[in-house]
Amino acid sequence: MFTKDIQSLFNNFQLGFKVFDLNLVTACYNLPCTLNTPDKISVIKTKLALEDEVNDIFSQLKNEGFDRLELKNSSCMQLTDEIILVNIDWKFYDNTNQVFSEFSAFYHLVCANDKKVKIINATSHQISNSQRLQTSFSLKDNQTFNV
C-alpha cells in the first residue's frame, strides 16, 4: 500500500488549508476530479475551476473566523491497484474556540501519471457516517494545526 504517500498527500493538504495556500491544496488533486458536499456536486475539469472551488472554501473559512483544524480517524483501504479509499474526520474551530464545521470526508485517490497519489473524488458526509477503514495512518502535529 501507499501509506507514506497518503500521509504526505494529506499533510500537504491540511497545511494548505491551514495557511490558505491555493497551490498546495490544488496540487493534491488529479484533474479531472469531483467534489461532493450534501449541497453540491462539482465536476472539475480544469485547474482554473479547481482554483475557484478551493478559493470558495477559503472564503467560507475566513468568513467563519477560522483559527484551527483537527483531523482524526485517518484511515485508508486499497480498493484496486490504482484506487485507494481514505476517510478523515475534519473539525474546524473559530477564533473563540467554537466548532463551526465538523464532517467526515471520503476521498478516492488514484495513482496519477507522475506516480503520485492524488485526490480524484472528495465527498463530505455528516460525522456520523465516519468509517474506520482497514489501515490507520497518522498525520503531523498530532493532527491539529493552529493558524
Specify whether the CB–CB gap between 114 and 6 falls below 8 A: no
User: What is the total count of domains within the chain?
Assistant: 1
Contacts of 81 (CB under 8 A, 6+ apart): 111
Secondary-structure breakdown of the chain: helix, strand, coil percentages, each rounded to the nearest 5: 30, 45, 25
Query: What is the tens place of the pLDDT at every residue in 91-143?
Result: 999 999 999 999 999 999 998 666 789 999 999 999 999 999 988 888 876 44
Residue 5 has pLDDT above 80, yes or no: yes
Specify whether the CB–CB gap between 64 and 56 falls below 8 A: no
CATH number at residue 23: 3.10.450.50
Q: What is the pLDDT of residue 127?
A: 94
Residue 144 has pLDDT above 60, yes or no: no
Query: What is the tens place of the pLDDT at every residue in 30-64?
Result: 999 999 998 899 999 999 999 999 999 999 999 99
Q: What is the pLDDT of residue 116?
A: 86
Rounded to whole angstroms, the Cα distance separating 139 from 65 reads 24
Short-list 122, 61, 43, CA closest to 88: 122
Residue 111 belongs to what domain range?
3-146
Residue 76 has pLDDT above 80, yes or no: yes
Number of C-beta neighbours around residue 93 at 10 A? 21
Query: What is the tens place of the pLDDT at every residue in 12-30?
Result: 999 999 999 999 999 999 9
